[in-house]
Amino acid sequence: MEETKKQPIINIVPADNGGCGYYRLMQIGYMLQQQRYDVTISGAGKYRAFAQDIVYTQRILTESLMTKLIEWKKQTNIKKLIIDYDDLIWEYKGESLPDYNLCRNKLDCKGNTEAMKKYLNILADHITVTTEELKQSLLQFVPAEKITVIPNCLTYKEWYFPRTPTPKEDIFYYAGSYTHYDNINKKLGDFDKNLVQYLNNKKVIVKSTVPYFIKPYKNTPGNYLTTYAPSFYQETREAKFILAPLADNEFNRCKSDLKYLESAAVGKVCLVSDFPGSPFEGAHPYQKIPVGSTATAIKYIVERAGEHYDEILQHQYEYLNKRWLDNRIGEYKKILELQ
Protein backbone atom coordinates (compact mmCIF):
# COMPACT_ATOMS: atom_id res chain seq x y z
CA MET A 1 0.00 0.00 0.00
CA GLU A 2 1.45 3.37 -1.02
CA GLU A 3 2.16 5.70 1.88
CA THR A 4 0.20 8.98 1.82
CA LYS A 5 2.48 11.98 1.57
CA LYS A 6 2.31 14.09 4.72
CA GLN A 7 1.38 17.72 4.14
CA PRO A 8 3.70 20.22 5.81
CA ILE A 9 2.53 22.52 8.58
CA ILE A 10 2.80 26.07 7.27
CA ASN A 11 3.07 29.38 9.11
CA ILE A 12 2.30 32.48 7.04
CA VAL A 13 3.82 35.74 8.31
CA PRO A 14 2.68 38.76 6.26
CA ALA A 15 4.64 42.02 6.26
CA ASP A 16 1.41 43.94 6.81
CA ASN A 17 -2.33 43.36 6.90
CA GLY A 18 -3.11 45.66 3.98
CA GLY A 19 -2.14 46.36 0.41
CA CYS A 20 -0.44 43.70 -1.66
CA GLY A 21 0.55 41.82 1.50
CA TYR A 22 -3.07 40.84 1.87
CA TYR A 23 -3.36 39.57 -1.70
CA ARG A 24 -0.03 37.82 -1.75
CA LEU A 25 -0.09 35.93 1.54
CA MET A 26 -3.31 36.30 3.50
CA GLN A 27 -5.50 35.18 0.60
CA ILE A 28 -3.15 32.28 -0.16
CA GLY A 29 -3.37 31.20 3.49
CA TYR A 30 -7.18 31.33 3.53
CA MET A 31 -7.42 29.33 0.32
CA LEU A 32 -5.01 26.66 1.55
CA GLN A 33 -7.00 26.37 4.78
CA GLN A 34 -10.15 25.76 2.72
CA GLN A 35 -8.30 22.93 0.99
CA ARG A 36 -7.51 21.35 4.38
CA TYR A 37 -3.89 22.40 4.55
CA ASP A 38 -2.58 22.91 8.07
CA VAL A 39 -1.92 26.65 7.92
CA THR A 40 -1.52 29.24 10.65
CA ILE A 41 -1.48 32.96 9.87
CA SER A 42 0.54 35.10 12.27
CA GLY A 43 0.19 38.80 12.92
CA ALA A 44 2.33 41.01 10.68
CA GLY A 45 6.01 40.37 11.39
CA LYS A 46 5.33 37.91 14.24
CA TYR A 47 7.61 34.89 13.96
CA ARG A 48 6.78 31.83 16.03
CA ALA A 49 7.94 28.24 15.87
CA PHE A 50 5.79 25.48 17.30
CA ALA A 51 5.34 22.49 15.00
CA GLN A 52 5.61 24.40 11.72
CA ASP A 53 7.71 22.96 8.92
CA ILE A 54 7.56 25.94 6.57
CA VAL A 55 7.46 29.69 7.16
CA TYR A 56 6.26 31.87 4.29
CA THR A 57 6.95 35.55 4.89
CA GLN A 58 7.49 38.86 3.11
CA ARG A 59 9.93 41.70 2.45
CA ILE A 60 12.83 40.68 4.66
CA LEU A 61 15.31 43.48 4.01
CA THR A 62 17.38 44.75 6.92
CA GLU A 63 20.62 43.28 8.27
CA SER A 64 19.21 43.22 11.80
CA LEU A 65 16.17 41.14 10.84
CA MET A 66 18.08 38.85 8.51
CA THR A 67 20.73 37.94 11.05
CA LYS A 68 18.08 37.36 13.73
CA LEU A 69 16.09 35.08 11.43
CA ILE A 70 19.20 33.11 10.46
CA GLU A 71 19.81 32.35 14.15
CA TRP A 72 16.10 31.70 14.73
CA LYS A 73 16.09 29.10 11.93
CA LYS A 74 19.03 27.31 13.55
CA GLN A 75 17.20 27.10 16.88
CA THR A 76 13.88 25.81 15.51
CA ASN A 77 12.54 22.91 13.46
CA ILE A 78 11.80 25.13 10.46
CA LYS A 79 12.75 23.17 7.35
CA LYS A 80 12.02 25.83 4.75
CA LEU A 81 11.80 29.62 4.83
CA ILE A 82 10.22 31.29 1.80
CA ILE A 83 10.28 35.06 1.29
CA ASP A 84 7.98 37.00 -1.02
CA TYR A 85 8.90 40.37 -2.56
CA ASP A 86 6.42 42.55 -4.46
CA ASP A 87 8.22 45.89 -4.88
CA LEU A 88 11.71 47.14 -5.71
CA ILE A 89 12.94 48.38 -2.32
CA TRP A 90 16.65 47.83 -2.93
CA GLU A 91 19.01 49.19 -5.58
CA TYR A 92 18.89 47.89 -9.16
CA LYS A 93 20.30 49.49 -12.30
CA GLY A 94 21.19 52.50 -10.18
CA GLU A 95 17.57 53.03 -9.10
CA SER A 96 15.30 52.15 -6.21
CA LEU A 97 12.37 54.15 -4.85
CA PRO A 98 11.55 57.25 -6.93
CA ASP A 99 11.87 60.60 -5.16
CA TYR A 100 8.08 61.12 -4.98
CA ASN A 101 7.46 57.82 -3.16
CA LEU A 102 7.14 58.83 0.48
CA CYS A 103 8.20 55.35 1.61
CA ARG A 104 11.72 56.73 1.00
CA ASN A 105 11.40 58.35 4.42
CA LYS A 106 11.02 54.94 6.08
CA LEU A 107 13.27 52.69 4.01
CA ASP A 108 17.05 52.60 3.56
CA CYS A 109 17.34 51.06 0.09
CA LYS A 110 21.15 51.28 0.04
CA GLY A 111 21.33 49.54 3.42
CA ASN A 112 18.81 46.93 2.25
CA THR A 113 20.98 46.21 -0.80
CA GLU A 114 24.11 45.65 1.27
CA ALA A 115 22.25 43.42 3.74
CA MET A 116 20.69 41.34 0.97
CA LYS A 117 24.09 40.83 -0.67
CA LYS A 118 25.47 39.41 2.57
CA TYR A 119 22.59 37.40 3.96
CA LEU A 120 19.67 36.74 1.59
CA ASN A 121 21.12 33.62 -0.02
CA ILE A 122 21.93 32.20 3.42
CA LEU A 123 18.50 32.97 4.85
CA ALA A 124 16.03 32.23 2.04
CA ASP A 125 15.38 28.67 0.93
CA HIS A 126 13.13 30.01 -1.80
CA ILE A 127 11.81 33.37 -3.01
CA THR A 128 8.59 34.35 -4.79
CA VAL A 129 8.12 37.58 -6.74
CA THR A 130 5.32 39.26 -8.66
CA THR A 131 7.13 40.00 -11.94
CA GLU A 132 9.97 38.82 -14.14
CA GLU A 133 11.69 42.20 -13.81
CA LEU A 134 11.63 41.90 -10.02
CA LYS A 135 13.23 38.47 -10.38
CA GLN A 136 15.99 40.00 -12.49
CA SER A 137 16.65 42.57 -9.77
CA LEU A 138 17.16 39.78 -7.21
CA LEU A 139 19.70 37.83 -9.26
CA GLN A 140 22.42 40.04 -7.78
CA PHE A 141 21.73 38.31 -4.44
CA VAL A 142 20.59 34.72 -5.14
CA PRO A 143 20.74 32.16 -7.98
CA ALA A 144 17.84 31.99 -10.45
CA GLU A 145 16.72 28.52 -9.31
CA LYS A 146 15.77 29.98 -5.94
CA ILE A 147 13.25 32.41 -7.44
CA THR A 148 9.73 31.71 -8.74
CA VAL A 149 7.62 34.35 -10.48
CA ILE A 150 3.94 34.17 -9.55
CA PRO A 151 1.92 37.22 -10.67
CA ASN A 152 -0.61 38.84 -8.40
CA CYS A 153 -4.03 37.19 -8.61
CA LEU A 154 -7.54 37.83 -7.32
CA THR A 155 -9.84 35.37 -5.57
CA TYR A 156 -13.07 34.57 -7.40
CA LYS A 157 -15.19 34.66 -4.25
CA GLU A 158 -14.05 38.18 -3.41
CA TRP A 159 -13.74 39.74 -6.85
CA TYR A 160 -16.42 38.26 -9.12
CA PHE A 161 -19.00 41.05 -9.71
CA PRO A 162 -21.95 41.43 -12.09
CA ARG A 163 -21.53 43.87 -14.94
CA THR A 164 -23.59 47.07 -14.90
CA PRO A 165 -24.47 49.44 -17.79
CA THR A 166 -21.65 51.65 -19.10
CA PRO A 167 -22.03 55.25 -17.85
CA LYS A 168 -22.56 57.82 -20.60
CA GLU A 169 -20.52 60.58 -18.91
CA ASP A 170 -16.72 60.49 -18.76
CA ILE A 171 -16.21 60.22 -15.00
CA PHE A 172 -12.84 58.99 -13.75
CA TYR A 173 -11.93 57.05 -10.61
CA TYR A 174 -8.53 57.04 -8.89
CA ALA A 175 -7.36 55.00 -5.91
CA GLY A 176 -3.66 55.41 -5.13
CA SER A 177 -1.57 55.96 -2.02
CA TYR A 178 1.26 58.39 -1.19
CA THR A 179 3.64 56.03 -2.97
CA HIS A 180 2.37 57.48 -6.27
CA TYR A 181 2.66 61.24 -5.61
CA ASP A 182 4.06 63.60 -2.98
CA ASN A 183 1.60 66.01 -1.37
CA ILE A 184 4.28 67.34 1.01
CA ASN A 185 6.88 68.41 -1.55
CA LYS A 186 4.35 68.97 -4.33
CA LYS A 187 5.54 66.33 -6.80
CA LEU A 188 3.20 64.90 -9.42
CA GLY A 189 4.92 61.52 -9.24
CA ASP A 190 3.15 59.00 -11.46
CA PHE A 191 0.87 61.69 -12.88
CA ASP A 192 2.19 63.37 -16.02
CA LYS A 193 1.57 67.14 -16.11
CA ASN A 194 -0.41 66.76 -19.35
CA LEU A 195 -2.67 64.16 -17.77
CA VAL A 196 -3.27 66.54 -14.86
CA GLN A 197 -4.09 69.31 -17.36
CA TYR A 198 -6.54 67.01 -19.14
CA LEU A 199 -8.26 66.05 -15.88
CA ASN A 200 -8.59 69.66 -14.68
CA ASN A 201 -12.09 70.06 -16.10
CA LYS A 202 -13.18 66.44 -15.62
CA LYS A 203 -15.08 64.74 -12.83
CA VAL A 204 -12.68 62.60 -10.80
CA ILE A 205 -13.69 60.38 -7.88
CA VAL A 206 -10.74 59.92 -5.52
CA LYS A 207 -10.50 57.17 -2.93
CA SER A 208 -8.89 58.01 0.41
CA THR A 209 -6.02 60.56 0.27
CA VAL A 210 -6.48 63.22 -2.43
CA PRO A 211 -3.49 64.23 -4.60
CA TYR A 212 -2.85 67.96 -4.17
CA PHE A 213 -3.30 68.59 -7.91
CA ILE A 214 -6.81 67.08 -8.19
CA LYS A 215 -10.03 68.72 -7.03
CA PRO A 216 -12.24 65.67 -6.61
CA TYR A 217 -15.81 65.49 -7.75
CA LYS A 218 -16.21 62.99 -4.88
CA ASN A 219 -13.85 61.73 -2.19
CA THR A 220 -14.59 58.25 -0.82
CA PRO A 221 -13.05 56.81 2.36
CA GLY A 222 -10.31 54.20 2.57
CA ASN A 223 -11.01 50.60 3.59
CA TYR A 224 -9.49 47.64 5.28
CA LEU A 225 -8.56 45.13 2.61
CA THR A 226 -11.29 42.78 3.82
CA THR A 227 -13.91 45.33 2.66
CA TYR A 228 -11.96 46.88 -0.22
CA ALA A 229 -13.37 44.77 -3.07
CA PRO A 230 -17.11 45.47 -2.50
CA SER A 231 -16.39 49.16 -1.78
CA PHE A 232 -14.29 49.46 -4.94
CA TYR A 233 -17.14 47.93 -6.91
CA GLN A 234 -19.82 50.22 -5.47
CA GLU A 235 -17.71 53.38 -5.73
CA THR A 236 -16.90 52.79 -9.40
CA ARG A 237 -20.50 52.33 -10.63
CA GLU A 238 -20.74 55.98 -11.64
CA ALA A 239 -17.26 56.03 -13.20
CA LYS A 240 -16.56 55.19 -16.81
CA PHE A 241 -12.77 54.92 -16.49
CA ILE A 242 -10.33 53.91 -13.77
CA LEU A 243 -6.97 55.70 -13.78
CA ALA A 244 -3.73 53.75 -13.33
CA PRO A 245 -0.93 56.20 -14.21
CA LEU A 246 2.72 55.24 -13.72
CA ALA A 247 5.93 57.14 -14.42
CA ASP A 248 8.65 55.56 -16.55
CA ASN A 249 11.14 54.29 -13.97
CA GLU A 250 12.64 51.02 -12.76
CA PHE A 251 10.47 50.89 -9.64
CA ASN A 252 7.35 50.86 -11.82
CA ARG A 253 8.80 48.37 -14.30
CA CYS A 254 9.06 46.01 -11.32
CA LYS A 255 5.48 46.68 -10.20
CA SER A 256 2.59 44.30 -10.81
CA ASP A 257 -0.59 44.90 -12.81
CA LEU A 258 -2.90 44.58 -9.80
CA LYS A 259 -4.91 47.74 -10.55
CA TYR A 260 -5.61 46.41 -14.03
CA LEU A 261 -6.97 43.15 -12.57
CA GLU A 262 -9.17 45.05 -10.11
CA SER A 263 -10.55 47.26 -12.89
CA ALA A 264 -11.35 44.20 -14.98
CA ALA A 265 -13.17 42.59 -12.05
CA VAL A 266 -15.46 45.60 -11.51
CA GLY A 267 -16.12 45.99 -15.25
CA LYS A 268 -14.51 49.37 -15.90
CA VAL A 269 -11.98 50.30 -18.55
CA CYS A 270 -8.60 51.04 -16.98
CA LEU A 271 -6.54 53.83 -18.58
CA VAL A 272 -2.89 52.86 -18.13
CA SER A 273 0.47 54.49 -18.77
CA ASP A 274 2.52 53.03 -21.59
CA PHE A 275 6.34 52.86 -21.63
CA PRO A 276 8.92 50.13 -22.38
CA GLY A 277 8.69 47.41 -19.71
CA SER A 278 5.46 48.76 -18.19
CA PRO A 279 3.50 46.23 -16.09
CA PHE A 280 0.53 47.05 -18.35
CA GLU A 281 2.14 45.84 -21.57
CA GLY A 282 -0.64 43.23 -21.89
CA ALA A 283 -3.39 45.85 -21.92
CA HIS A 284 -5.48 46.62 -25.00
CA PRO A 285 -3.68 49.18 -27.22
CA TYR A 286 -6.67 51.54 -27.11
CA GLN A 287 -6.47 51.94 -23.34
CA LYS A 288 -2.77 52.82 -23.22
CA ILE A 289 -1.60 56.41 -22.78
CA PRO A 290 2.07 56.75 -23.79
CA VAL A 291 4.15 58.61 -21.20
CA GLY A 292 4.66 62.21 -22.37
CA SER A 293 1.43 62.37 -24.40
CA THR A 294 0.03 65.88 -24.88
CA ALA A 295 -3.31 66.83 -23.35
CA THR A 296 -4.75 66.81 -26.90
CA ALA A 297 -3.44 63.28 -27.50
CA ILE A 298 -4.86 62.12 -24.16
CA LYS A 299 -8.26 63.56 -25.13
CA TYR A 300 -8.16 61.57 -28.37
CA ILE A 301 -7.08 58.35 -26.58
CA VAL A 302 -9.88 58.65 -23.99
CA GLU A 303 -12.48 59.32 -26.68
CA ARG A 304 -11.27 56.32 -28.69
CA ALA A 305 -11.37 54.14 -25.55
CA GLY A 306 -15.00 55.23 -25.06
CA GLU A 307 -15.86 54.27 -28.64
CA HIS A 308 -14.28 50.81 -28.20
CA TYR A 309 -15.42 50.35 -24.60
CA ASP A 310 -16.97 46.88 -24.95
CA GLU A 311 -14.02 45.59 -26.97
CA ILE A 312 -11.57 46.77 -24.29
CA LEU A 313 -13.70 45.33 -21.49
CA GLN A 314 -13.74 41.96 -23.21
CA HIS A 315 -9.94 42.08 -23.44
CA GLN A 316 -9.76 42.87 -19.72
CA TYR A 317 -12.11 40.01 -18.79
CA GLU A 318 -10.04 37.54 -20.83
CA TYR A 319 -6.88 38.84 -19.15
CA LEU A 320 -8.44 38.47 -15.69
CA ASN A 321 -9.67 34.94 -16.40
CA LYS A 322 -6.05 33.81 -16.48
CA ARG A 323 -5.41 35.37 -13.08
CA TRP A 324 -7.92 33.89 -10.67
CA LEU A 325 -6.02 32.58 -7.65
CA ASP A 326 -8.56 29.74 -7.40
CA ASN A 327 -7.12 28.31 -10.62
CA ARG A 328 -3.46 29.04 -9.82
CA ILE A 329 -3.12 27.95 -6.20
CA GLY A 330 -1.20 24.91 -7.49
CA GLU A 331 1.77 27.20 -8.25
CA TYR A 332 2.00 27.94 -4.53
CA LYS A 333 1.48 24.30 -3.53
CA LYS A 334 4.58 23.31 -5.50
CA ILE A 335 6.69 25.83 -3.58
CA LEU A 336 5.16 24.75 -0.28
CA GLU A 337 6.32 21.15 -0.64
CA LEU A 338 9.16 19.61 1.34
CA GLN A 339 11.66 17.76 -0.81
Q: What is the pLDDT of residue 5?
A: 62
Is residue 186 within 8 A of residue 212, CB to CB? The reply is yes
> β-strands 9-13, 147-149: how paired?
unpaired
pLDDT tens digits along 260-288:
999 999 999 999 999 999 999 999 999 99
Residues 171-222 have pLDDT tens digits of: 999 999 999 999 999 999 999 999 999 999 999 999 999 999 999 999 999 9
Contacts of 245 (CB under 8 A, 6+ apart): 180, 190, 191, 192, 195, 271, 272, 273, 289
pTM of the shown model: 0.95
Residue range 110-129: average pLDDT? 98
What is the tens place of the pLDDT at every residue in 284-318? 999 999 999 999 999 999 999 999 999 999 999 99
* pLDDT over threshold 90, residue 248: yes
- Closest by Cα among 126, 137, 117, 139 to 84: 126
CATH 3.40.50.1370 fits 157-320, yes or no: no
The residue-averaged pLDDT of 8-14 equals: 94
- Say whether pLDDT at 2 is over 60: no
Query: Where does CATH 3.40.50.2000 sit in the chain?
Result: 9-153+324-335, 157-320
The three state secondary structure string of the chain is CCCCCCCCEEEEECCCCCCHHHHHHHHHHHHHHHCCCEEEECCCCCCCCCCCCEEEEECCCCHHHHHHHHHHHHHCCCCEEEEEECCCCCCECCECCCCCCHHHHCCCHHHHHHHHHHHHHHHCCEEEECCHHHHHHHCCCCCHHHEEECCCCECHHHHCCCCCCCCCCCEEEEECCCCCCECCCCECCCCCHHHHHHHCCCEEEEECCCCCCCCCCEEECCCCHHHHHHHHHHHCCCCCEEEECCCCCHHHHCCCCHHHHHHHHCCCEEEEEECCCCCCCCCCHHHEEECCCCHHHHHHHHHHHHHCHHHHHHHHHHHHCCCEHHHHHHHHHHHCCCC
Q: Which fold has domain 9-153+324-335?
A: Rossmann fold (3.40.50)
